[in-house]
Amino acid sequence: MVKKLQYRRLLMLALLLGAAFAGLGYRLVDLQVLQHEDLSNQALKLTQHLYQLEPRRGDILDIRGNLLATSIFVKTVCADPAMIGNRQAEVAHALAPLLQVNEAALAQRLVPRTRQNEKGETLTNNYVVLKRKVSFETWQKVNFTMTNLTFNVNEKALNKKEAAFYQNLRTKAIFADPVDDQLRSYPGQTLAAHVLGYMGVRDSGESVGSDGIERTWENKLKGVRGWRWSERDRRQQEIVALRGQDVEAHDGLTVALTIDSFLQHVLETSLAEAMQKESPISISGIILRPRTGEILAMAVLPNFDPNNPGGSEDARRNRLIADVHEPGSTFKIVVVSGALNDQLITLNDQFDCERGHFPFAGRVLHDHAPYGILSTESIITKSSNIGAAKIGIRMGENRLYQYMQDFGFGAGTGILLPGEVSGILHPVKSWTKVSIAQIPMGQGVAATSLQMTMAMCAIANRGMLMHPMLVDHLQDEDGNVVARYAPERVRQVISEDTAREMVDALKTVVTTNGTAPKAALEHYTVAGKTGTAQKPPYQSNKFYASFIGFFPADNPQVCIYVSMDEPKGDLHQGGQIAAPVFKQIAEQAANYLNIRPDKDGEQVFPQLAAATDADQPVKTIVARAP
């Protein structure tokens, strides 16, 4: 009886073991055969990772190779809270000053947490980002600090498990992401900020050029991504020994601008001094080579620091291309040169300026002084509104409109910067009866500062309108030039003879009889034009003051534009407040570029005589200047 009971128990045990082994066998078949593919894919997702290898963004240089923008490789500092245990306070206290983050907030990020995924599995936060874009030097300090933390514990008295915990806490709990990030840096801070632009972040977290050259040349600067397939551990760190496919990234190209850092500094410093003195809403300036369209400097105040581009949106706007205004008397160069080109007038023709009051089409036009009979040249010299209006009336609406278009008004200049507007140029059918008299004096039309500057440069350049040029060449990471850009002509606006006559007239503006004697230079003949536009409504006491000039007048090397929006000082005329700023900039530019003087036969820099000859390309001066 006893033996039968034992046999039954053995049989039951055998059946149970058989069932258990059968179940285990089925499970193994299920895992290894039936679900093999799905489980393998899940395992790959958990362990294998595709690392995007970001290329180094290309630098931005000035014309002499000075660094304007560069990219610095930086670290993303991470933590594995599960390895920190209950030591968050000590770690946060040590690292918060280095990472420049709030200590309490950092301690909270270091607390181990668990969550359940869709399948009900418990997951821990083994990978927590503490701070992005940390410099390599700061990461070294973090690493050193963690390695030397003691936690006030005598580790020699601990068992192996406790000692291993502190060892891992010091050496593995805080780590850097295996793929370096980049930080865009602008060494000059605010220098040429509106030209360079700044970096922004897309919704995906990807850095991208948000304005200026950074945006326009994004595709050249950003380079081509690489990738790497590799295994990673539970803390999302790469297991280098198991690295698979590895395709290198191709760094972005370096963009070399026509901007000259020294002249940019001269321009910005001069504008800042005038800003403090006259207190306008804004002040702007351009230094440009008339024959090539190369922009040597371009500035707007107030400005911003691309390293930290937050703050006022107005400060980030490049008003030279994004804002329009009535140009005022600078626009007289369009109507006078057009009439001269059509041989409707000569510089010696006489016009009655009506003693400063001219009734026309139900309106009364005014001059700033009671002029009587003035020659065409004197209309430019004195900046007579009535004289310009009468020349416009003689031209007629269609010819005036055509010349405005030919000089580039009503269309973008083609500058390689985002945000340029076309200005306002109404078609003739939309003109009122008084438009033909108002437009020649710079009312009823709106232009950007760059449009007005390029129009003046066309006169300086023998009547040829040029595209503004900001990029000289592109080069690779080894400094090899891969693309070089040449000046581009737009059209011949007026004949060379007409341009020469206009230059003669514009020379008189800076004489004692003209509106801008404060723009005259001691060693160079200057040709230029003042502008004082009363802002609509015209009864207001708000003005837009400007001066555009070039020198040496008969062999122009540099054109400089200066404007002020609503100056608050006692004076508001372009010849009184903008012309002196032109002179200050011009004197320093002439000295820096070694431009040969043209007054009294002076030859301060005879070695540049050949380079500054009228028939030689201006690019030779760029190459030879110190």
Query: 218 exposed, middle or buried (CB, 10 Å; 0-12, 13-18, 19+)?
Result: middle
pLDDT on residue 167: 87
What's the rounded mean pLDDT across residues 513-538? 93
pLDDT tens-place string over residues 191-226: 999 999 999 887 766 788 999 999 999 999 988 776
pLDDT on residue 602: 46
What's the rounded mean pLDDT across residues 448-473? 97
Residue with tokens 């936060």: 125
Q: Is the pLDDT of residue 321 over 70?
A: yes
Q: Classify each residue of 469-482 as buried b or exposed e, where b means 16 or more C-beta atoms within 10 Å of its C-beta.
A: bbbbbbbeeeeeee
Omega into 537 within 30° of 0, i.e. cis? yes
pLDDT on residue 608: 33
pLDDT tens-place string over residues 346-362: 999 999 999 999 999 88
pLDDT on residue 2: 60
pLDDT tens-place string over residues 70-128: 998 888 899 999 888 888 898 999 999 999 999 999 999 998 887 776 766 666 778 88
Please report, for residues 143, 279, 281, 314, the alpha-carbon distance to residue 566 in angstroms, rounded to integers and kept in the order given: 55, 8, 6, 15
Q: Is the pLDDT of residue 338 over 70?
A: yes
Q: Which uninterrupted H or E stretch holds 74?
A: strand 67-79
Four-CA torsion 571, 576, 582, 586, nearest 10 degrees = -140
> CA nearest 493: which of 454, 452, 464, 466?
464
**Model pTM greater than 0.85?**
no
C-beta of residue 109 within 8 angstroms of C-beta of residue 101: no
pLDDT on residue 50: 55
> CA nearest 414: which of 485, 519, 347, 366?
485
pLDDT on residue 239: 52
Domains along the sequence of the chain with CATH: 50-103+122-257 (3.90.1310.10), 261-624 (3.40.710.10)
How far apart, in whole angstroms, are the C-alpha atoms of residue 502 and residue 459? Answer: 7
Confidence of residue 270 (pLDDT cuts 50, 70, 90): very high
How confident is the prediction for the chain on average, in pLDDT? Answer: 86
Compute the radius of gyration of the chain from its Cα atoms: 36
Got the DSSP string for 108-159?
Answer: HHTS--EEE-TTS-EEE---EEEEEEE-HHHHHHHHHHHHT--TT--GGGS-
pLDDT on residue 299: 97
pLDDT tens-place string over residues 13-67: 777 777 777 667 666 665 566 555 564 555 445 455 555 667 889 999 999 999 9
pLDDT on residue 82: 86
Please report, for residues 60, 122, 308, 328, 570, the alpha-carbon distance to residue 304 in angstroms, rounded to integers and kept in the order given: 18, 48, 8, 29, 28
> DSSP 3-state assignment of 528?
strand
What's the rounded mean pLDDT across residues 295-321? 93
pLDDT on residue 34: 59
Omega into 302 within 30° of 0, i.e. cis? yes
Rounded (10°) angle between helices 496-507 and 332-341: 140
How far apart, in whole angstroms, are the C-alpha atoms of residue 264 and residue 272? Answer: 12
pLDDT on residue 41: 54
What's the rounded mean pLDDT across residues 520-545? 90
Q: Is the pLDDT of residue 494 over 80?
A: yes
What's the rounded mean pLDDT across residues 460-489? 95
pLDDT on residue 581: 97
pLDDT on residue 605: 35
Residue 325 neighbours by CB under 8 Å, 6+ apart = 446, 447, 449, 533, 535, 544, 565
pLDDT on residue 15: 73
C-beta of residue 356 within 8 angstroms of C-beta of residue 386: yes
What's the rounded mean pLDDT across residues 231-239? 54
pLDDT on residue 246: 62
Task: Specify the higher pLDDT residue, 506 or 72.
Answer: 506
Least confident of 8-12, 108-112, 557-561, 565-569: 8-12
Q: Is the pLDDT of residue 571 over 90?
A: no
- Which neighbouring-strand residues pair with 475? 254, 481
Q: Give the up-direction half-sphere exposure of residue 567: CA atoms within 13 A in the CB hemisphere.
A: 26
Please report, for residues 137, 330, 341, 405, the alpha-carbon distance to residue 496 in angstroms, rounded to integers and kept in the order given: 60, 20, 9, 19
Residue 512 neighbours by CB under 8 Å, 6+ apart = none
Got the DSSP string for 113-125?
Answer: -EEE-TTS-EEE-
